[in-house]
Amino acid sequence: MSEYSPWEKRFERERASRKEAEKILESKSSEIYEMNKNLENLVYKRTIELEEALKKANIAKVSKANFLANMSHEIRTPMNGILGFTQLIAEGDLNKSQREYINIVNSSTKTLLSIINNILDYSKNESEKVNIELIKVEPFMELKNCFMLYDSTAKAKNINYRFNMDKNIHHYLYMDIYKIHQIISNLITNAIKFTDVNKDVEVNIEVKSDEDSSQVLRFSVKDQGIGIAPENIDKIFEAFLQADNSTTRKFGGTGLGLSITSSFVNAMGGKLKVESELNQGSVFFFELEFEKCNEESNHTSENKSINKVISEKINKKVKVLIVDDYEFNQILAGEILKSFGIEFDICDDGEKAIEFALKNNYDAILMDVNMPILNGLNATRILKNTHHLKTPIIALTANAIAGDKEKFLQAGMDDYISKPIEIDILVKVLGKYISINEI
């Protein structure tokens, strides 16, 4: 090298180091390429594993849904008995206090049923898709009944329990009364639970604005309980969370209440809010708009007209087939039909139902779905598809999971009544079909 000038040597050094750097770069590139290939293989393998896991999770989800459907049936069947027979007792001769008690039993049962439905809904992760069912109600009576439910609990704790309802609330409003019941019940239960003896719990319902066709009502439940610390205020509407863990130990509860309550208020277009001071108490409040209802066609008179329609047909000998494997369901449906003078036959499985339906000329068939030997869906398919029976078949079932109605209609059923049977709904649905098939 010494025969070269220093600059030539420098140039040669730079060139050699550049070449080496290029070699290193090339080898690093192949290294990265290999690593990338391995990574792609790993991603592919992991994706297959994830797809497998997803498949398993979906199977588990279907099992869970089936389990919930069965649970729904199992819980609703005895509820059907309680609610139905309570309604029948209420129809009879009762003294004033007996009527008051039976109304409370009835109202509690409906609330319990609504809670069961909501827990099932919640378990199915459908809490955000709460279905609102508006019916005409007398708000004053309904809300007072709800308030009265907790009167004895409050008295037992020596709590000054007050209820103030604005006199200007419209006589009839369209509302989802079961959900309103549940919201108010939940807030009152909490207020009583967290308030000490000799303190106040106050429920206020006032008209916030009044239009020709609607009213905005403000509901508030105020307590003098333990209150909520500012840092916990946002947490209390989350599922399974209470203000802190010691709350659960001291006061009980699932921690689901306020989350469901809040989701119901949201679904009805309102927002559940709270103002609270630690150790002073809390006020839970919300505002909702309700459509007014024409008093000429109120709930009671509508029922009367349906009852009248059915009564008129009694002379023409209306006959219905009840298909149900539970004896008390048979008795209940029978008692309701009897009270309208409707004749009926009873059988307890799908096979017998086909036999009865083909032999007799019924005006309607009330068909249970889950039955031994042949279930209601298959019996309906045979009657409608094979024998081309025109008689309306109404599903009468405790399977109240969303999507069931479509399944029943697809099988050829004409309508659907969810158990527990409510007299009004049974009469309304039955009246619709008997009127269609004029005899």
- Cβ nearer to other proteins, comparing 6 with 403: 6
Among 17, 29, 300, 311, binds other proteins (CB under 8 A): 17
- Name which of 39 and 278 has its Cβ closer to other proteins: 39
Measured from the Cβ of residue 386, the count of other Cβ atoms closer than 10 Å reads: 9
Give me the helix-helix angle, 423-436 and 299-314, nearest 10°: 50
The answer to whether 16 contacts other proteins (rule: CB under 8 A) is yes
Q: Which of 118, 116, 113 is nearest to 86 (CA)?
A: 113
Whichever of 18 and 387 has its CB closer to other proteins, that residue is 18
Separation of alpha carbons 55 and 40, rounded Å: 22
Q: How many residues does the chain have?
A: 439
Residue 10 engages other proteins in binding (rule: CB under 8 A): yes
Taking CB under 8 A as the criterion, which residues in 317-346 touch other proteins? none
**Residue 16 or 409 with smaller CB distance to other proteins:** 16
Nearer to other proteins, 21 or 132 (CB): 21
Does 42 engage in binding with other proteins (CB under 8 A)? no
Judge contact between 121 and 127, C-beta under 8 A: yes
| Residue 21 makes contact with other proteins by CB under 8 A | yes
Smallest gap from Cβ 24 to other proteins, in A, equals 5
- Which of 293, 297, 414 lies closest to 365, judged by CA? 414
Stretch that binds other proteins, among 13-21, 132-140, 145-153, 226-234 (CB under 8 A): 13-21
User: In angstroms, what is the minimal distance from the CB of 19 to other proteins?
Assistant: 8
Q: Which is nearer to other proteins, 21 or 436 (CB)?
A: 21
Q: Name the minimum Å distance from CB 127 to other proteins.
A: 45
87 exposed, middle or buried (CB, 10 Å; 0-12, 13-18, 19+)? buried
Is 13 in a helix, a strand, or coil? Answer: helix
Q: Considering only residues 20, 211, 295, 312, which one is a binding residue for other proteins as defined by CB under 8 A?
A: 20
Helix (H) or strand (E) holding 139: helix 139-148
Distance between CA 208 and CA 220 in Å, rounded?
12
Peptide bond into 420 cis (omega under 30): yes
Q: List the x/- string, 22-41, binding to other proteins by CB under 8 A.
A: --xx--x-------------
Cα–Cα distance measured from residue 416 to residue 127, given in angstroms and rounded to the nearest whole number: 23
Rounded to the nearest whole angstrom, what is the least distance from the CB of residue 192 to other proteins in the complex?
A: 56
CB of 39 to other proteins, least distance (A): 16
Q: Taking a C-beta distance cutoff of 8 angstroms, is the pair 177, 135 a contact? A: yes
Count of CA atoms in the C-beta half-sphere (13 A) of 132: 15
When the beta carbons of 12 and 244 are compared against other proteins, the nearer one is: 12
Spatial neighbors of 186 by CB under 8 A, at least 6 apart, are 257, 258, 260, 261
If the CB atoms of residues 26 and 355 are measured against other proteins, the closer one turns out to be 26
Q: Which stretch binds other proteins (CB under 8 A): 5-13, 153-161, 249-257, 286-294?
A: 5-13
Q: State the residue for tokens 């399944």.
A: 407
If the CB atoms of residues 3 and 212 are measured against other proteins, the closer one turns out to be 3
Give, for 289, the enclosing helix (H) or strand (E). Answer: strand 281-292
The reply to whether 53 sits near other proteins by the rule CB under 8 A is no
In one letter, which amino acid is 46? R
CB 25 to other proteins: min, Å: 8
Report yes or no: 310 and 363 within 8 Å, Cβ to Cβ.
Answer: no
Pairing of strands 160-165, 200-210: parallel
Please give the structure tokens belonging to residue 209. 């604005």
How far apart CA 217 and CA 400 sit, in angstroms, is 31
- Applying CB under 8 A, among 9, 61, 155, 387 the residue interacting with other proteins is 9
Determine the size of the site formed for other proteins (CB under 8 A): 17
- Give the range of 1-9, 89-97, 124-132, 309-317 binding other proteins by CB under 8 A: 1-9
The answer to whether 345 touches 368, Cβ cutoff 8 Å, is: no
Is 197 a binding residue for other proteins by CB under 8 A? The answer is no
Taking CB under 8 A as the criterion, which residues in 60-119 touch other proteins? Answer: none
- Which of 18, 45, 155, 171 touches other proteins (CB under 8 A)? 18
Instruction: List binders of other proteins among 243-302 (CB under 8 A).
Output: none
* Cβ closest to other proteins, residue 35 vs residue 278: 35
Question: CB-wise, 35 or 436, nearer to other proteins?
Answer: 35
Main-chain dihedrals φ then ψ at residue 157, nearest 5 degrees: -95, 5
Binding region for other proteins (CB under 8 A): 1-2, 6, 9-10, 12-18, 20-21, 24-25, 28
